[in-house]
Amino acid sequence: MYNINDIIREYGYVKITALQKVNYKEEILRLKKEKNVVILGHYYIDGELQDISDFVGDSLALAQKAASTQADIILFLGVHFMAETAKILNPSKKVLLPDLNAGCSLADSCPATGFSEFLQNYPDHIVISYINTTADIKALTDIICTSSNAVQIVQSLPIDQKIVFAPDKNLGNYISSVTGRDMEIWDGACHVHQQFSLERILELKNEHPDALILAHPECNKPVLLLADYIGSTSALLKFSQTNEAQKYIIATESGILHQMRLSNPNKYFIPAPPEDSTCACNDCNFMKLNTMEKVYNTLVHELPEVILDEQLSKKAYHPIKRMLEISEQLGL
């Protein structure tokens, strides 16, 4: 007889195949209602998973939803730092993540020991960290931000306030260029956004001169310089809904194209190509670990669950709370 906790320790997810054929969509919808579960999905997960989510959004909107939910259980379809943030905001609730291996290269690019040593060089700086960080980094941070509110959060600080920004160097440099603030920036990056090919985007633009280039600020500088519009996933989606152009080249993870196509059925969306034409590297391999089968198993067994040390959770709560308060004041 198997022990389910041993399976999760070994694989990171519930690896049990149903003996009979399961209609995953039907069963997921039934189970989530029966167990009062809210499914929160990020724009980067597969389209079929976005379709069974109660709410699909960017990192800020998902944190806001997690903070206000009345559900008994939060099932997060995204990556670990997102589910962890939901747990920090709801310590008494069960927070489930279908695959514990769903990490984030950007969060991994900022280990806690290295970061606390880095901070010793900047004792009089305020620390702003992107939400794509572990709870350990959040506990070392004064204010969390996302790509939806980072510029406004930096602008809300006194002009002479010294700032450390972590972990994304591309987002940090972008914020610095928009706000004119000099910041000490940690040298981290996301492997998906880092590898869009400037050359191949230019080739696409030559083929489709009427297409607008929309880019996420996690992209590297040359891509951002080329972009017609830069914003968080929700900002890119909104731009594609309200702008009159009929064609767009999208430089961010390809999952966002699902919502863009759903809400703009007559517009044409082209995923920006990565450096290596043989891979689907504009797919985040971590986000794509979420599958219908794993979601079903997670709902049946209420596992894997995100568990956090209580003291760490309390420390990581304050900078997230501060972000939510500032965002509310700014109407974000």
Residues forming contacts to ligand 13P in the complex (CB under 6 A) are 43, 58-60, 132, 146-148, 190, 218, 232-233
Is 153 within 8 Å of 163 (Cβ atoms)?
A: no
Least distance in angstroms from the C-beta of 203 to ligand 13P = 25
The closest of 57, 210, 18, 257 to 146, measured between CA atoms, is: 57
Contact between 106 and ligand SF4 by CB under 6 A: the answer reads yes
Token look-up 């747990």 returns: 87
Burial of 176 (0-12, 13-18, 19+ CB in 10 A): middle
Least distance in angstroms from the C-beta of 290 to ligand SF4 = 11
Q: Which does 149 bind (CB under 5 to 8 A by kind): ligand 13P, ligand SF4, none?
A: none
Looking at residues 34 to 63 of the shown chain, list those that interact with ligand SF4 (rule: CB under 6 A).
Answer: 44
Q: Which is nearer to ligand SF4, 181 or 191 (by Cβ)? A: 191
Separation of alpha carbons 82 and 77, rounded Å: 9
Q: Which two tokens stand for residue 259?
A: 């919502």
Q: Which does 233 bind (CB under 5 to 8 A by kind): ligand 13P, ligand SF4, none?
A: ligand 13P
Alpha helices in 273-309 (DSSP H): 292-301
Q: Which does 46 bind (CB under 5 to 8 A by kind): ligand 13P, ligand SF4, none?
A: none
Q: Which two tokens stand for residue 250?
A: 């999208």
Contact between 79 and ligand SF4 by CB under 6 A: the answer reads yes
* Stretch 15-34: interaction string toward ligand SF4, x if CB under 6 A: --------------------
Binding footprint of ligand SF4, residue count (CB under 6 A): 13
Distance of CA 52 to the CA centre of its chain: 18
CB atoms within 10 A of CB 248: 26
Task: Name which position in 139, 286, 294, 323 contacts ligand SF4 (CB under 6 A).
Answer: 286
Is 44 within 8 Å of 280 (Cβ atoms)?
A: no
Contact between 284 and ligand SF4 by CB under 6 A: the answer reads yes
Contact between 272 and ligand SF4 by CB under 6 A: the answer reads no
C-alpha dihedral sign at 193, 64, 109, 98: negative
* Stretch 125-144: interaction string toward ligand SF4, x if CB under 6 A: -------x------------
